[in-house]
Structures are given as C-alpha cells and as structure tokens.
Structure 1
Amino acid sequence: MRLAKFLAHAGVASRRASEQLIAEGRIAVGGEIVLDPARDVDASSGVTYDGEPVRGEEPRVVYALHKPAGVVSTAADTHGRRTVTELVPQGRRLYPVGRLDADSTGLILLTNDGELANRLTHPRFEVPKTYRATVGGPQIGDRTLRQLREGVRLEDGMTAPARVRRLSAHVLELTIHEGRKRQVRRMCEEVGHPVKSLVRTQFGPLSLGDLGTGRSRRLTAREVRELAEAANA
C-alpha cells in the first residue's frame, strides 16, 4: 500500500494531509525519513509519525454529532475553544469530516478513516449536504429561490446550482455539494437574506434526526456502508 494511503487508513490524517506530513519529513519508514508518498509499505514496515509507531489499518468508525453553537470543527484549537472531538467520548483518534463554522449547529461526522473523510468532502464526489437557514431581510420570494437554484456569484467564483425549498417566509432549506467556507451564509447574504441561524440537517444519506444537541452516536455498519457508497469509497 502507498505510504500516504497507509497513513490515512491508520487514522493519522486524510490522504492529502498525510502527503503534507510526508513532505515535511515527519514520517519515517524503518528509521529513515521518507519523502515519497507513493512508497510501498505495510504494517511490518516500521512506519512512524513524529517518532511514534503507526499501527496498520484500524477498523473504520464514524460518529454522528449534533454540534452546538460555539464549538469549533477541529481536532484542537489554539484559542482554547471547545472542539467537536471533545464531545465524542471514546479513545480513538478521530477528526471531523469537513467543517461547520462555530456559529452553526447540526450534523457533523467524525471518523478515523482519512480517505473516507476526503471523499465525503471533496466536490468531485458531489456528496450533498442539507441545511436549514433562518434568514433576515424581506420575506423570501420566488426571485431569491431562482437565484439560489441557478447559482450565486461570490468573491471566489460562481456557486453550483443548489436545491432550495422555502419552508416559511424566513426559513430556507438548501442542499449543496461544494462545501466552500461559510458558503450557505455567503450565498444567502448575497441574495439579500443574511443568515440568523444555520443548522445542518443531513450529510449524504445520513440525517440528524432526533439526536440531541451536544450528543453523539456511533454509526451502524449499514450507515457507514451507505456513506461510503455515496462517496464511491
């Protein structure tokens, strides 16, 4: 197995992040620094990360978490804020699948499988994510729905068309698959409806359901398989 893939499957980081770790000289094989992410390795190769042994592939686990407001979607935070990994009570190294900004709430996934995380978030695999946005401004009109459905021009380019439903005069349901930084908030603001609150209700085939705020649960084998199928993993 290629080194970068080995690291991702071992839960060290996503494959892309693993390639960066390799380029930084933080990965050794048999006691020697390796800079080639395509180097063939296995569990007996003596792979280390910052001097710590990397055990081979761990069983894939995925947790669903209902992220509260004020919690950041990272494994650690330099400002001392609470992170999503602190809300999942188990001993494995997990990292979040994509991000929700600190002010947003709802469904976020955490896993030890870097390759699955990468596929679930990469725009190429078009895994949909659904949000419920309560917005300000005038009542939501047909023109706003049309703009969002056709795509909105932001400073980093045109968004892909979104699936949009008007749930009430000031509540929208949007489904996107790009995942740019604060994308839903920026899209709504661009069409004259600044977001007051934002909840992610669905990620691929998985729904938030009745999972309580701040609570987490481990996905069943069937749910993990359906997620993987959605991302062609």
Structure 2
Amino acid sequence: MKERLQKVIAGAGLTSRRKAEQWIAQGRVRVNGRVVVEQGFKVDPEVDRIEVDGRSVAIPDHTVCFLFYKPIGVVTTLHDPQGRPAVADYVRDLPKRVFPVGRLDINSSGLLLLTNDGELAHRLMHPRFGVEKTYRVVVRGYLENPGIRRLETGIVLDGVRTAPARVRLRGRGRERSEFDITLHEGRNRQVRRMCKAVGHPVLELTRVQYGNLTIDGLAPGEIRPLTEEEERTLRKLVADGREPR
C-alpha cells in the first residue's frame, strides 16, 4: 500500500512529519536510489528502498511512548551543535530510538512526550486537533484581574490573536503571581510572549499537563513509559478517522 513519503519517514520514528518534509525539500531523501524533492510523493514502504542521508529507513516493528520531565537548561533536541545538555543525553538507554513531540525552550521545564511514532506526533502537534497543554507560570508583579481576562480572551501576537485560554490563579502578591494556563495551540514561546504583553515577564514556566498526561510523580530528568490506558486515551484524542494535512 502506497503512502506519502514524509508520512513513511515520520512513521519510521526518525523525526516528525513536518521535519521530514524539510528533509525532502533539502534533497536529503532518496527512493530507490533517486533523490525525491516532491512533497506528497508516494511510496510503498514494503517494496521501495528509502534512504535519508544515505542511511536506509527501517520501519519499526512497534511504537513506544515515554514521558520525560525536562529540566531547566536542557535543549529539546537530539543533537545540539553548541554542546549544551540535550534530551538526547537522557534517552540513550531507552530500548527504541525516540524523538520529542514539540518543544520546550531551554529556560522552561516540564512534560515532554517522547515517541518513535511519527504519525502520532504529527497529529498531536497539528492545530486541527487542538490538544490541550497546561503550564504552571510564575510571573513578576501582581497580576490584576484585567490582565487575567486578556490572557483568557486572547492577545495579538505577530498580527494574529491567540485562541481563548483558561487561567486558574494559584496566588498573587506584590512581587510575583502564580497561575496555571491551558492552551490548545502552540506558537513559539507563546506563554512567555503573552505574559510579557500584559506587563508581567515570566520568572518560571513548567508544562504540567499534555492532553491526558501529567508530570505527577516525576522529578526533573526522570523518564517513564506511558501506561496502556494513558496511551490508549492519548491516541483517542487525535483519532477521528481523518488524516490531517
């Protein structure tokens, strides 16, 4: 059965589908010895020989999913040219090669999903599914109610208003305030930029929930596999019979 090339590469657990599309555009992918740069090119993974940077793409015999509590100071990548601590340093002993779903910036901590299932990763990050992510945020200063309402109703970033969010205040004082904010979109450094826009720079930022998954019971730097029930529920969040583009 033929499938789009970027989907097959992602399904092999090498990277996300979006990144696979970039690899194709960069001429790094060959099918049966021929460089393919056409997006949407279809292949049969059981018949065609697919290579990325000269290495054969092997379809995994089964998929895996792990939760990782990313510490502050760790970059969300499997290789960092600057030699900084990276997610790769924590996954060397896992039984399968995995990659992170989405990103957390180096100064943020919290929940990262790690998997070798490129199709699942693609769906989880696709805006059409709107998978919720909750962050625990500490900001500078006393966060007034009007600021909370602005965070909830949306703030214009790069000319586009953010989608409505949910905010649950945990405490506030003259020097700092703490709250949880739940989003169902994932723009670059979105929470930090939203808080800056309402006049309260972020002091601490931790992702505490992703869909049905939480970091409860994990310490920074720890990894654990998803339970069968957790993985089943997670997949249901993005399983509606339609394939996102």
TM-score interval w.r.t. the shorter chain? over 0.9
SS of aligned partner of 1:92: coil
Q: What is the TM-score with the length of structure 2 in the denominator?
A: 0.88
SS of aligned partner of 2:10: helix
SS of aligned partner of 1:132: strand
Matches within 5 A, 1:1-233: 1-2=2-3, 3-36=5-38, 37-88=40-91, 89-138=93-142, 140-169=143-172, 170-232=177-239
Q: Identical aligned pairs, as a percentage?
A: 45
2:51 alignment partner AA: T
Q: How far apart are the structure 1 equivalents of 2:106 and 2:62?
A: 30
- What is the deviation of 1:155? 3.2
Quick check: 2:14–2:118 contact (8 Å CA) kept in 1? Answer: yes
Q: How far apart are the structure 2 equivalents of 1:136 and 1:19?
A: 40
Q: How far apart are the structure 1 equivalents of 2:118 and 2:196?
A: 33
Q: How far apart are the structure 1 equivalents of 2:159 and 2:89?
A: 32
> 2:243 maps to which residue?
none
Could you list the structure 1 runs, at least 4 aligned residues long, displaced by more than 6 angstroms after superposition.
Answer: none
Q: How far apart are the structure 1 equivalents of 2:73 and 2:26?
A: 32
1:11 alignment partner AA: G
Please give the per-residue CA displacement for 1:27-80, whole angstroms capped at 9, x wherever unaligned.
222222233433221233222222211112441211111111100111111110
SS of aligned partner of 2:106: coil
Quick check: 2:102–2:125 contact (8 Å CA) kept in 1? Answer: yes
Quick check: 2:66–2:225 contact (8 Å CA) kept in 1? Answer: yes
Return closer, same or farther for 1:156/1:58 CA change in 2, 3 Å cut-off.
farther
- What is the deviation of 1:232? 2.6
Quick check: 2:64–2:96 contact (8 Å CA) kept in 1? Answer: no
* Unmatched runs of 5 consecutive residues or more in structure 1: none
2:71 alignment partner AA: P
- What is the deviation of 1:19? 2.2
Q: What is the TM-score with the length of structure 1 in the denominator?
A: 0.93
* Unmatched runs of 5 consecutive residues or more in structure 2: 241-245
Return closer, same or farther for 1:32/1:153 CA change in 2, 3 Å cut-off.
closer
Q: How far apart are the structure 2 equivalents of 1:118 and 1:211?
A: 25
SS of aligned partner of 2:128: helix
SS of aligned partner of 1:123: coil
- What is the deviation of 1:226? 1.5
Please give the per-residue CA displacement for 1:141-178, whole angstroms capped at 9, x wherever unaligned.
22122111111122352111111011111111100011
Quick check: 1:97–1:121 contact (8 Å CA) kept in 2? Answer: yes
Q: How far apart are the structure 2 equivalents of 1:156 and 1:90?
A: 42
Quick check: 1:9–1:58 contact (8 Å CA) kept in 2? Answer: no
Q: How far apart are the structure 1 equivalents of 2:61 and 2:11?
A: 7
Q: How far apart are the structure 2 equivalents of 1:155 and 1:7?
A: 32
Quick check: 1:75–1:94 contact (8 Å CA) kept in 2? Answer: no
